[in-house]
Structure 1
Amino acid sequence: MKQTQLKQLKKTLTDLPPLTDMAEYLQSAVLVPLLWIEGEYHFVFEKRAPQIRQGGEVCFPGGKIDATDHSPKMTAIRETCEELGCAKETIELLGNLGMQIVPTGMLVHAYLGIVHEKLEHFQISESEVAEVFTVPVAYFLQNEPELYNCEVRVHPYAIDRETGEKEIFLPSDTLNLPSIYHEPWGAARHKVYVYRYQEKMIWGITAKIIYHLMQQLQAIEKEEDKKP
């Protein structure tokens, strides 16, 4: 490697994204919307329409990042406007909540924002959203989530349940890889957070975003309590 190449590499490294293999993931963005209702902030949740992917689940508004979106932030705002039927001008973006990695191969960019609109004025997209409801932020500050685990493994092949045929993804034997890689390996534990609110089940990546946000808010509260 030449010194000129090293200097150019140094410049490139400073501009690398948080994950160097981000392009290999399906990327989406969500907005965590806040509404001011009766003297306190509420989170706005959607229940997905039954006919779409993951129908019936509770989530925040958002979706896949389109090629025409200039940034994940733009995706989050666009999807929120489409799904909730609110105007872009009513959304006050507060900041970036970071990026979550889903074991199924997805990156989720999350943003926090206030929607300056009344819940009853939303014109939800019925093709995507079955129901919209709110939960006070205070509920999540006062209630810890249930914590479960899923096992995540790397599978070098899959067996078709109907035909019994084996589809090889990684030819471990012909590549002469160690025998441990001829069968599924890894067995890592993936944390799954669950909040129960009335009859609603808020779980998965949505609950994880809330949990980490509550951790930040609780840390802020502790710092404020220390002040004279």
Structure 2
Amino acid sequence: MLEEKLKQLKDKLVNKEQIIAKERKYFNSAVLIPLINIDGNYHLLFQRRAADITQPHEICFPGGRYEPDLDSNYQETATRETKEELGIAKENINFLGKLGTIVAPLGATIDAFVGEINISDLEQLELNYEEVVEVFTIPLEYFRDNEPQEYYVRIKMHPYEVDENGEKVTLLPAEDLDLPKKYSTPWHGKRHKLFVYSTQDGVIWGITAELITELVAQFE
């Protein structure tokens, strides 16, 4: 019996590539990195977020939260969100593959897919203006020729937070759990690298810029 259970475990671990506790621990999302052929050159399609949603006015790719009741996988999430935000139907997306997964330091995962968008003009798009105020393209070559600037932020683990009333709310009762004293106060101030591209259409940074740098690296 023990040997059978061990074999079952071994079979499950073969070529297992996934983020541990992904579904149970993280806010999971997916994005599409849209490529458009314009006059024989590939451009990246970007959208600018609306003013009344999270991260207002920032430049990003289409995407959003993985919904297990709607999506059987993360590519379907990217497809659904692209349709909802830009009006691009599934049959007009030629998926080239998955670029990879980012685990963001704020507790989110982003599965990124690359796809060619089969449209002849941006006027064909049907923007959801509650989420997107505009779209534009930038030649992929621009990002190959212009390396991003690199900056850092410092991230710490906080065992408590302060609510809107100024009251301290304990998240990790370190003393009650008899953990080492250092875990009762913020610890591990680590630097986290950020990429920033300055373009004529605005600053592209954070996760979007990180995805661009990874995409560009595939051509080296």
Whether TM exceeds 0.5 here: the answer is yes
In the TM superposition, what is the alpha-carbon distance from 1:205 to its structure 2 partner?
A: 0.2
Distance (whole Å) between structure 1 residues aligned to residue 179 and residue 205 of structure 2: 38
Q: Secondary structure at the match of 1:7?
A: helix
Q: Kindly report which structure 2 residues correspond to 1:1-228, keeping only aligned pairs within 5 A, or say none.
A: 2-14=2-14, 16-23=16-23, 24-67=25-68, 68-117=70-119, 118-160=121-163, 162-217=164-219, 219=220
Structure 1 residue 79: deviation in Å? Answer: 1.0
The 10-residue stretch of structure 1 (34-43 or 15-24) with the greater mean CA deviation from structure 2: 15-24
| Partner AA of 2:182 in structure 1 | I
Q: Residues 140-193 of structure 1, C-alpha deviation per residue, up to 9 Å, x if partnerless?
A: 000010111111111111123x53311001111111111111111111111111
Post-superposition CA distance 1:178-226 (Å, at most 9, x none):
1111111111111111101114110100000001111121x2xxxxxxx
Point out the more displaced range, 102-111 or 77-86: 77-86
Deviation at 1:3, TM superposition (A): 1.9
| Structure 2 SS opposite 1:76 | helix
Please give the TM-score of this superposition, normalised by the length of structure 1: 0.91
The one-letter code of the counterpart of 2:20 is T
TM-score (ref. length: structure 2): 0.94
CA distance in structure 2 between the aligned counterparts of 1:9 and 1:71, rounded to whole angstroms = 23
Deviation at 1:2, TM superposition (A): 2.1
**Structure 1 residue matching 2:57: 3-state secondary structure:** coil
Q: Distance in 1 between matches of 2:211 and 2:201?
A: 20
Structure 2 letter corresponding to 1:100: I
Report the alpha carbon displacement of residue 136 of structure 1 after superposing the two structures with TM: 0.4
Cα separation, 1, equivalents of 2:201 and 2:177 = 51
Query: For 2:107 and 2:60, how far apart are their aligned partners in 1?
Result: 18
Q: RMSD over aligned Cα, in angstroms?
A: 1.4
Counterpart residue identity of residue 2, structure 1? L
Moved more, 5-14 or 178-187: 5-14
Question: 2:11 is matched by which residue type in structure 1?
Answer: K
